[in-house]
């Protein structure tokens, strides 16, 4: 193990309640692209297409979105995406009773798929597995809406009120879900250490959940490929792949051989 890895494990080991904060980088090894990396989504699509105003006003944007979900291009709306070793390591920490919770910017549901219960994961940007009607609020598994698209409804509408249907994810210009935000605040206030994985810490207000405890002196470990906007606040920064680093770190913490 490198010195950084040992130092990070020691910091986290001295805490009973670790807040885990994750971003798109933890899921790239599951085959879901991040936004800002070299193969990130922003190199293929226009970020402006992910604003709620455009989605509601432009049927072509909606059609393209559903088609990309159908083809599996966006965030694992379809079930074949699996958690990777980093998600599993975090679930091991949860099973060992070491977490105050997992706060994620991701919408892919992979923390739960790895075994962290739903009520211990705050999904700040919603999740892709559910979809809803923006007018009456009726909701369905996204898989069901995709079956309507497959059957020919390229811009599916609500069977009850004919409203626009949208995945239950937070687009630019939308508020964060209040319940998830409140849960994240509780997890952050209980934290004795913060572990950031695969995030540039550059998307607000989500990043504040990790940054606020760190500014109050709670030790923060960052595991990320490349720089983040807040490396200076980290007690230890490990520049590496989450799927390599996390299992080694967690094995040491929960007493198994790395
Ligand atoms: P980001 O795209 O800003 O940053 C991701 C960071 O992870 C980058 O610094 C990248 O270099 C790093 N990274 C990539 N692969 C890694 C790996 N294997 N191990 C460690 N680090 C790795 O992501 P963000 O800060 O999370 O913000 C982007 C926004 O995009 C979020 O708000 C999120 O909602 C959304 N998003 C979600 C998903 C998903 O659900 N999987 C995917 C793309 C984007
Ligand atoms: Zn409706």
* Confidence bin at 114 (pLDDT 50/70/90): very high
Q: State the residue for tokens 């239950």.
A: 168
What pairs with residue 238 in β-bridges?
223
On the question of pLDDT at 30 being above 50, the answer is yes
Which of 31-35, 178-182, 212-216 has the least mean pLDDT?
Answer: 31-35
Alpha helices in the chain (DSSP H): 3-13, 52-57, 59-70, 85-95, 110-113, 142-150, 178-189, 208-215, 242-253
**Ligand 1 within 6 A of 180 CB?**
no
DSSP 18: E
Which of 77-91, 157-171, 207-221, 234-248 has the least mean pLDDT?
Answer: 77-91
Give the C-alpha separation, 3 to 210, whole Å: 24
**Ligand 1 within 6 A of 109 CB?**
no
Rg of the chain's alpha carbons, rounded to an integer? 19
* Confidence bin at 212 (pLDDT 50/70/90): very high
Q: What percent of the chain stands above pLDDT 90?
A: 78
Residue nearest to atom 23 of ligand 1 (CA): 24
* Confidence bin at 69 (pLDDT 50/70/90): confident
In this prediction, residue 78 carries a pLDDT of 61
Q: Which of 86, 167, 176, 198 to mutate to test the pocket of ligand 1 (most atoms within 8 A of CB)?
A: 198
Report the separation in Å between the CA atom of 132 and the middle of ligand 1, taken as the mean of its atom positions. 25
Report the separation in Å between the CA atom of 241 and the middle of ligand 1, taken as the mean of its atom positions. 12
Higher pLDDT, 24 or 35: 24
Q: What is the mean pLDDT of residues 162-167?
A: 97
On the question of pLDDT at 258 being above 50, the answer is no
Higher pLDDT, 246 or 129: 246
**Ligand 1 within 6 A of 241 CB?**
yes
pLDDT, mean over the chain: 91
Buried b (16+ CB within 10 A) or exposed e, 167-181: bbbbbeeeebbeebb
**Ligand 1 within 6 A of 34 CB?**
yes
Which of 76-80, 172-176, 192-196 has the least mean pLDDT?
Answer: 76-80
In angstroms, what CA-CA distances link 4 with 7, 23, 103, 195? 5, 21, 24, 14
Q: What is the mean pLDDT of residues 102-122?
A: 96
């Amino acid at each position: 193990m490198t010195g950084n890895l040992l130092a990070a494990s020691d910091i986290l080991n001295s805490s009973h309640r670790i807040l885990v904060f994750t971003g798109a980088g933890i899921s790239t090894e599951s085959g879901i692209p991040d936004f800002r990396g070299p193969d990130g989504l922003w190199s293929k699509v226009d970020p402006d297409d992910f604003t709620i105003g455009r989605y509601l006003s432009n049927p072509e944007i909606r059609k393209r979105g559903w088609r990309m979900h159908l083809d599996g291009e966006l965030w694992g709306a379809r079930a074949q995406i699996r958690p990777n070793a980093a998600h599993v390591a975090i679930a091991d920490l949860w099973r060992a009773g070491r977490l105050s919770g997992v706060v994620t910017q991701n919408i892919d549901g992979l923390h739960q798929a790895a075994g962290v219960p739903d009520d211990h994961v705050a999904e700040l940007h919603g999740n892709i597995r559910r979809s809803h009607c923006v007018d009456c609020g009726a909701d369905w598994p996204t898989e069901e809406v995709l079956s309507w698209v497959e059957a020919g409804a390229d811009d599916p509408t609500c069977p009850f009120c004919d409203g626009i249907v949208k995945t239950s994810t937070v687009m630019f210009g939308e508020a964060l879900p209040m319940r998830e935000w409140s849960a994240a605040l509780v997890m952050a206030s209980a934290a004795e250490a913060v572990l950031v994985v695969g995030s540039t810490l550059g998307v607000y207000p989500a990043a504040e959940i990790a940054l606020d405890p760190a500014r109050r002196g709670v030790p923060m470990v960052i595991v990320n490929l490349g720089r983040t906007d807040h490396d200076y606040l980290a007690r230890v920064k490990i520049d590496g792949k989450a799927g390599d680093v996390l299992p080694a770190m967690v094995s040491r913490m929960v007493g198994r051989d790395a």
